[in-house]
Structure formats: C-alpha cells, structure tokens
Amino acid sequence: MTAATSRRLHTLAAGTSGPRIAFLHGLFGQGRNWSQIAKALSGPDGDQAQCLLVDLPDHGHSPWSDHFSLQAYAASVAATLRATAPGERWTLVGHSLGGKVAMIVALSQPDLIERLAVIDIAPRHYRSHQWFVDYVNVMRALPLDSLPDRASANAALAQHIPDPAVCAFLLQNLRRHGTAWSWQINFDVLARPGTGPAGVAGWPTADATAYQPFRGPVAWVAGAESTYITDRDAEPMRALFPRVTQVTVKDAGHWVHSDQPEVVTQILRRFALSTARRH
C-alpha cells in the first residue's frame, strides 16, 4: 500500500487498475482498519480494484478540525476523492460514523458516487452514546507523561475495558514520538459537550431530506448480533436510497468487517466488482 498526505485527508492506496473503491472507518478508527479487505479486492486473482483507505478528519493522520460536522466530514471526503481521481466515480464504503458520512456524500454529490455500501448504521440519530463518553474518559485519563510503554497503556485500559479487541482498537490511536506519547484522536472536538456526542450520534435530518434521493445501487450490511439497525430503519433508509438491498451477516456484531472479513469481502466483490464488469 502507498500513503498520501497533503492538505486533503490522509489516504492509503492499494491496487493500480479496476473500479475505484473508497473505504471510510468508524469512530476512533483509521483507514487501515480496512486493509485486509482492500488487499483482497485489489489482488491479482481477477478481482482488480483501486482501493483508497481514508482517514476521516480528526482521526489517524488526517488534519484536525475546529468543530464536528457530518456535512463537513462529507465535504472533505468528496474533495479528497475528486483530487485523487478527477472525473471518475467511486464505490464508497462506510462503517458506522463512516457510513453516515458516506451517505451524506452520496446524497449531496451523487455525480461522484456510483455505488454505496453502508455498514451497520442507519440514517438517524442514536440516543445512546454512553459507551462513547466512557471510552473517551478512559483514554484521556491515561497518564501519558509517565507512561513507560504500550503494554502499560493496554493494562491501564483493560482495568476499565475488559474486551482485549476493543483495547487494541483504541490503542491504535496512541503514538510515541521519542519518549512522548500522544493521541491521534481530536478529543477536544469529538468530545466537546453539546457538539461531540450529539454530533457523532446524530443525523442532519433537515439537510439530508433537502437532497434528492440517491438513485445508485446501495448495499446495506448489518451484523446479525448488532443493534444498530432495526426494522424501523428500513423505511427512512429506502426513502433516501430507493435501490437499497439489505444484507445481514451471521455471527457478526457492529464491527462486521472485523468479525467476518471474508464474508464482507465477498459481498463487496459481488456488489462493486462483478456489477462493474457487466457495464
């Protein structure tokens, strides 16, 4: 994979030919969370795609912003895609927070997006975000000035977060520069009272409904063990995305692509690559 950093968002690229597929991660994530699936889709076995793994604003190696806004995130993603491949259209894949951003990109700039894959999120406000607040508090409480090593950071997180996979996921954002540690997450924006949790969990209903429905194909992928998509979400989703097809992945929670990477790879291969060959 090759990395690109400029004023636009930080990206990793995989593949040199085929349809273009961009991946957006969820909250606290990074573009490289999609590396395994991107490598599979851009490989030499007849599944050629040009994949772009994007770090959202305030995450990973991308620039930080002054305030949180789904619309601003979407504008940054769209600008990055246009700069990467001027005049070309993309399949855009987004998980959780990245799924919301991807939906807004498709609704606001439909000329840029050919197909959309939304992973385990719906176009609505999510009332419960206490887990987000808890994770932020735990991460910000780490004594970075006296932290000897990453193992110590993991042990400190594990006292409050018993799931080793979640600890590892969060710790990917901890970086060491010489003897100094820092977080790559812009907590000041994402955790700001009144804008952070409400914004991250929200959905810009008035702005989104002002757009025309997105007419391209949409794959809506849910984890069978996740609670992020309910039966009540189907009608508003179809109102915005009339050509949506829902797929439920067995033995998968909210992080569907981590729980079942081979299944998600097959879904995206059929959705983005097989369809592209027929046109």
CATH number, domain containing residue 227? 3.40.50.1820
pTM of the full predicted structure? 0.92
Q: How far apart are CA 99 and CA 92, in angstroms?
A: 9
Could you tell me if residue 256 is inside a domain?
Answer: yes
96 counts as catalytic = yes
**Same-domain check for residues 79 and 206:** yes
**Same-domain check for residues 28 and 110:** yes
**Same-domain check for residues 62 and 114:** yes
**Same-domain check for residues 175 and 213:** no
If one counts every other C-beta atom within 10 angstroms of the C-beta of residue 209, the result is: 13
Instruction: Lowest mean pLDDT of 123-127, 212-216, 218-222, name the range.
Output: 123-127
pLDDT tens digits along 29-56 = 999 999 999 999 998 764 689 999 999 9
Could you tell me if residue 196 is inside a domain?
Answer: no
Q: What angle do CA 22, 27, 222 make, to 5 degrees?
A: 70
pLDDT tens digits along 263-272 = 999 999 999 9
**Same-domain check for residues 58 and 172:** no
In sequence order, which residues have a C-beta less than 8 Å from that of residue 197 and are 6 or more positions away?
Answer: 129, 132, 133, 191
Active-site annotation holder among 149, 163, 188, 251: 188
Contact at 8 Å (CB) between 185 and 200? Answer: no
Q: Give pLDDT, residue 31.
A: 97
**Same-domain check for residues 91 and 7:** yes
Q: Which residue has the higher pLDDT, 179 or 138?
A: 138
**Same-domain check for residues 140 and 184:** yes
**Same-domain check for residues 135 and 174:** yes
Active-site annotation holder among 254, 257, 258, 259: 254
- Please check the confidence at residue 277 and state whether its pLDDT lies above 80: no
Q: Give pLDDT, residue 185.
A: 93
**Same-domain check for residues 47 and 165:** no
Contact at 8 Å (CB) between 268 and 37? Answer: yes
- Please check the confidence at residue 194 and state whether its pLDDT lies above 70: no
**Same-domain check for residues 106 and 147:** no
Mean of per-residue pLDDT scores for the chain: 90
146 counts as catalytic = no
Number of residues that make up the chain:
279
Q: Give pLDDT, residue 131.
A: 75
**Same-domain check for residues 105 and 15:** yes
Band of residue 130 on the pLDDT scale cut at 50, 70, 90: low
Instruction: Lowest mean pLDDT of 52-61, 181-190, 220-229, 268-277, name the range.
Output: 268-277
Q: How far apart are CA 61 and CA 206, in angstroms?
A: 31
**Same-domain check for residues 215 and 109:** yes
Could you tell me if residue 239 is inside a domain?
Answer: yes
- Please check the confidence at residue 111 and state whether its pLDDT lies above 50: yes
- Please check the confidence at residue 197 and state whether its pLDDT lies above 90: no
Q: Give pLDDT, residue 278.
A: 45
- In eight-state DSSP terms, residue 213 is P
- Please check the confidence at residue 76 and state whether its pLDDT lies above 90: yes
61 counts as catalytic = no
Active-site annotation holder among 96, 108, 226, 258: 96
List C-alpha distances in Å: 214 to 9, 206, 229, 277, 279.
24, 16, 20, 22, 19
Q: Give pLDDT, residue 1.
A: 66
**Strand 2-4 to 11-14 pairing:** antiparallel
Q: How far apart are CA 241 and CA 122, in angstroms?
A: 11
Q: Give pLDDT, residue 3.
A: 53
- Please check the confidence at residue 193 and state whether its pLDDT lies above 60: no
Domain that holds residue 182: 130-190
Count: domains in the chain: 2
In sequence order, which residues have a C-beta less than 8 Å from that of residue 208 and are 6 or more positions away?
Answer: 103, 104, 107, 123, 240
